[in-house]
Amino acid sequence: MPEDPREREEAARQVVLRQLAMGPRSRRQLERKLADREAEPELVERVLDRFEEVSLVDDAAFAEVWVRSRARGKRLSRRAISRELHDKGVDRDVAEEALAAIEPEDERQAALELVRSKMRGRPAPAADGPEGRAERDKVTRRLVGMLGRKGYGPGLAFGVVKEVLAELDEA
């Protein structure tokens, strides 16, 4: 950071503007970026307060956009998105308000779509005989694991996988 206080403030503003040009950021993310650049805490607070005043930094709006994009684009669960928002420094209450947009049925549908897309074009593994059961168990474990990595709980994951495999058995 430069020596002159006005230059330091301008440099901090430029850092924030570059970060926002790349995409929405939470206040905490911007605080971390400015701290990495060794900006004084008072300067960071002053610059970010000004950006909030003009609505360029808004954690509630950031959380809403993040929830929509991660739920639709990556089909992540509420739990996974909540963890991401926490990592980005979004207040728990703000995050919960944004996450309220995800209905349980929407989450279940997203999990169904994920499993169906993984199984598209593949036959259901046979469930008869030891080798068939072993193959079906392997497919089930992989699909449940994939859903688990996306933040879905085991109960929902097993239920969805069972449903999709039953659909394939009927086809």
Residues with Cβ within 8 Å of 24's Cβ and at least 6 positions away in sequence, in order, are: 61, 62, 65, 66
The torsion angle over the Cα atoms of residues 107, 110, 116 and 117, rounded to 10 degrees, is -150
pLDDT at position 1 is 62
pLDDT at position 169 is 85
Question: What percent of the chain is predicted at pLDDT more than 90?
Answer: 79
Question: Could you tell me the pTM of the whole model?
Answer: 0.82
Question: In whole angstroms, what is the distance from residue 20 CA to residue 14 CA?
Answer: 10
Q: Is the pLDDT of residue 11 over 90?
A: yes
Count of C-beta atoms within a 10 Å radius of residue 6: 8
Q: Is the pLDDT of residue 98 over 90?
A: yes
Q: Do 163 and 113 meet the contact criterion of CB atoms below 8 Å apart?
A: no
Question: In whole angstroms, what is the distance from residue 129 CA to residue 76 CA?
Answer: 35
**Half-sphere exposure in the Cβ direction for 112 (13 Å, CA):** 12
Tens digits of residue pLDDT in 103-113: 999 999 999 99
- Mean pLDDT confidence for 15-20: 96
pLDDT at position 128 is 77
Question: What percent of the chain is predicted at pLDDT more than 70?
Answer: 98
Comparing C-alpha atoms, which of 115, 101, 100 is closest to residue 156? 115
Q: Is the pLDDT of residue 2 over 80?
A: no
- Mean pLDDT confidence for 35-43: 93
Q: Is 30 helix (H, G, I), strand (E, B) or coil?
A: helix
- Mean pLDDT confidence for 10-31: 95
Q: Is the pLDDT of residue 126 over 80?
A: no
Q: Is the pLDDT of residue 132 over 80?
A: no
Tens digits of residue pLDDT in 146-158: 999 999 999 999 9
Comparing C-alpha atoms, which of 121, 111, 125, 23 is closest to residue 66? 23
pLDDT at position 87 is 96
